[in-house]
Amino acid sequence: MTGKPEVTGFFDPRTWSVQYVVADRETGKCAIVDPVYDFDEKSGQTASKNADRLLAFVRDKGYEVEWILDTHPHADHFSAANYLKQKTGARTAIGAKVTDVQALWKGYYNWPDFPADGSQWDHLFADGDTFKVGSIDARVMFSPGHTLASITYVVGDAAFVHDTLFMPDSGTARADFPGGSAKVLWASIQAILALPDDTRIFTGHDYQPGGRQPQWESTVAEQKAHNIHLVRSKTEKDFVALREARDRTLPMPKLILHSLQINTNGGRLPEPESNGTRYLKIPLDLLRGADWG
């Protein structure tokens, strides 16, 4: 891949998420990656503060949004893809295997009429598909393991890996969600690490180990040399044992049951009921065995 996009990260401390504006400065075209739509589970309030911050940045730069890209259906925040599409008219996209996630959660939410065909997005990317951000070449890598549908966007020299690799001092993403697999995650990580050593790696979360300031950019070379999970597990067997042992100690994300019903629907909130109010549907005792934290 050729080209060096301008990458600007926006950290959301409520969800530990990093959102990106990825721009081709020559053409003024950009993509937005993994935007957050705000939700407070305590009060049930929603807001567009994070998404509006991205829009203000794009406006100030004079950029035109071409793509709104999600790497997978998130389990820890709502996607702002649909909101941003309404504001910009840009195309929304996600990995083609999102249909597998939709089929899984359609059953969990008991949604017999839910269309599990990916039609909630404008485009579904398959492994190896190519596209452009302005004049910069981009391609898609299928990166499952964290979820059935996770993908990596490689835009020029920048790879957006979201929940696959974290910063080297944080390690790798969990693989115990429905449809997850530590063995599959290992293979996805190896494919990412096969990119050129100077490829910039941008992660989707940062949990600030030791209380340090948020960070989200590293390189393939830095990941190979310093990622705390990878330096401790040189083989697939060792990695699977490490990852599964750690996952057994982790509570489920507090918004997993809230967010999957939004994010499997392209970031759309539930339709208002007859009283004008929207309601979430939370299945009880679905994720049995998870640590209570």
Output the pLDDT for position 121.
98
Listed residue (118, 175, 168, 116) closest to 145, CA to CA: 175
pLDDT digits (tens, 9 = 90+) for 25-81: 999 999 999 999 999 999 999 999 999 999 999 999 999 999 999 999 999 999 999
Q: Which helix (H) or strand (E) holds 18?
A: strand 17-24
- Decide if pLDDT at 145 tops 70: yes
CA distances from 286 to 104, 129, 256 (A): 12, 35, 11
β-pair type (91-95, 64-69): parallel
Residue 185 parent element (H or E):
helix 182-193
pLDDT average, residue stretch 245-259:
95
Q: What is the mean pLDDT of the chain?
A: 97
Helix, strand, or coil (residue 39): strand
- What is the tens place of the pLDDT at every residue in 88-118? 999 999 999 999 999 999 999 999 999 999 9
Quick one: pLDDT band at residue 290, thresholds 50, 70, 90?
Answer: confident
Q: What is the pLDDT of residues 165-181, one digit of tens each?
A: 999 999 999 999 999 99
Q: What is the mean pLDDT of residues 257-264?
A: 97
Position 269 confidence tier, pLDDT thresholds 50, 70, 90: very high
pLDDT-derived band at 293, boundaries 50, 70, 90: confident
Question: Whole-model pTM?
Answer: 0.96
Q: How far apart are CA 172 and CA 63, in angstroms?
A: 33
The answer to whether 60 and 17 are in contact (CB under 8 A) is no
For the residues 127-144, what does the mean pLDDT come to? 98
Distance (Å, rounded) from C-alpha 64 to C-alpha 59?
Answer: 8
Tell me: pLDDT of 1 over 70: no
Domains of the chain: 12-252 (3.60.15.10)
Q: Which run of H or of E encompasses 238? A: helix 236-247
Phi, psi of 107, deg, nearest 5:
-70, -40
Instruction: Note the pLDDT of residue 261.
Output: 96
d(CA 115, CA 123): 15
The pLDDT value recorded for residue 171 is: 97
Q: How far is CA 5 from CA 46, 149, 159, 251, in A?
A: 32, 25, 11, 36
Q: Are 200 and 219 in contact (CB under 8 A)?
A: yes
Q: What share of the chain has pLDDT > 90, as a percent?
A: 96
What's the whole-number mean pLDDT along residues 232-239?
96
pLDDT in tens, 273-285: 999 999 999 999 9
pLDDT band at 2 (very low <50, low <70, confident <90, very high): confident
Please name the amino acid found at residue 133: V
Give the residue among 84, 90, 119, 122 at the shortest CA–CA distance from 102: 119
